[in-house]
Each structure stands twice: as C-alpha cells, then as structure tokens.
Amino acid sequence: MKTKDIIRNGLWDQNVVLAQILGMCPTMALTSTATNGLGMGLATTAVLVVSNMAVSSVRGVVTEQVRIPVFIAIIATIVTLVDLGLNAWMHDLYKVLGLYIALIVANCAILGRAEAFACKNGVLASGADGLFMGLGFTAALTSIGVVREIIGSGTLFSQASLLLGPHFAFLETRVLPGYGGTLMMILPPGGFLTLGLLLALRKRIEMRRDASRACGAVTQPSHCGA
C-alpha cells in the first residue's frame, strides 16, 4: 500500500471514530474537554504505533491458531508500559485518564489494525498505519472535545498544562466570558449529540465529493447539477 493511501485511510477514509465507529468508550467518556480527548488520543496513538510494529515483526513466527491471543498479549504489555509511564511522569493527567488507559487493551481499533494490516505488511508500513490511524483518532476525539467544551463550559483546552506542561498553559482559554455553560454538553448525551453532528458533516462532505467526481466524469458539463 502506498504511503498516501495509508495517510488518507488513517485520517479520513477509515477514521477510527468517524468512519469505523470504533473506540466509543473513550470517545464518549473522555471528550468533555479538548485536553482529555487529546491526551487519550495521543496515548492510543503510541500504543497503535508500537503494537503494529511488534505484531508485524512476529507475524512470520506466530501460527494462525494462536495469533489473536498473541496480539492481545502484545497490546496488553504495551498498554501497561504506557499506563506506568503516565503514572510516573504525568501523574495529574493520569488521575483523569488512568481508568481509561487500561481499557485501550479492549479498544477494537488496536486489535483491528493488528489483524487487518500489521500481520500482512512490513514493520515500517505497519508503524505508519498505526501512526496515522492514531492521529485520525486523536483528531476526532479532540474535535468532539473542542465542541463539547466550548458549548458546555465556554472554555478551550482547560488544564492543558497537565498534558503538555506548564509552558502550554497559554492554551487554556475562556472563549465565552460570562457564559455559564450548558451542562448537557459535558455529560454523555452531549458526546452522542456532537458525534452525530460530526458524522453528518462527514457524510455531507463525502456526498459533495462524490457528486463533484460524478460531475467531472460527465462529458457535457451542462448535465451536472448545481
């Protein structure tokens, strides 16, 4: 697979959240703020990259019958290391995300990429697939978090310094001064509502793109709709 196809699949065509509708637990639970979504997305990206490369490196010695248990053991080991690392070096953030970091093991996207891509491709290609799948996942979670946080509390990247360090405290912004917020948007119903709107937006973009391609394929431009 070409690099541009790997990038496009990860960021758009096979986006974990917006196309495959996977990883709904962290999507709903950790996007009440953009910072939480970004943190969970980056942690998942790290696991995706390393697990994809690890699975690809052992694909020639793992038999068909035991591949799933082996893949899960590899993923669980990597998640444990990420969990311990966050606890050691980003403890304040760990107190927010810690419960959900362990659940990355059960994220269907991780095992899905190992099964669909990593066990069939080389180490570098598998690492690239994990990277861009993770970045697409991160972008989706952060986008949902941005919408929910602004409408829910009028802020943006609240507690960003916990994730990125004190030098990034300038990202913590009150977008709507004096705005009391809408409680529903920072509760689970707000996550479903925001996700539904983003899915509708993606579908609209896809429809317009398909219509544009169909229009370009018509030999007589007058046949194209507005």
Per-residue pLDDT reduced to its tens digit, 21-79: 998 988 998 899 999 999 899 999 999 999 999 999 999 999 989 999 999 999 999 99
Helix (H) and strand (E) counts in the chain: 10, 2
**pLDDT of 200 above 90:** yes
pLDDT of residue 219: 54
In a domain, 223, yes or no: no
pLDDT of residue 224: 52
In a domain, 154, yes or no: yes
In a domain, 73, yes or no: yes
Structure tokens at 212: 């544009």
pTM recorded for the entire structure: 0.91
Helical pair 123-153 and 34-58, crossing angle rounded to 10 deg: 170
Question: pLDDT by residue (tens digit) across 176-189?
Answer: 888 888 999 999 89
Please give the residue range of the domain that contains residue 175: 3-208
In a domain, 30, yes or no: yes
Q: How many domains does the chain have?
A: 1
In a domain, 136, yes or no: yes
Which pLDDT band, with edges at 50, 70 and 90, does 100 fall under? confident
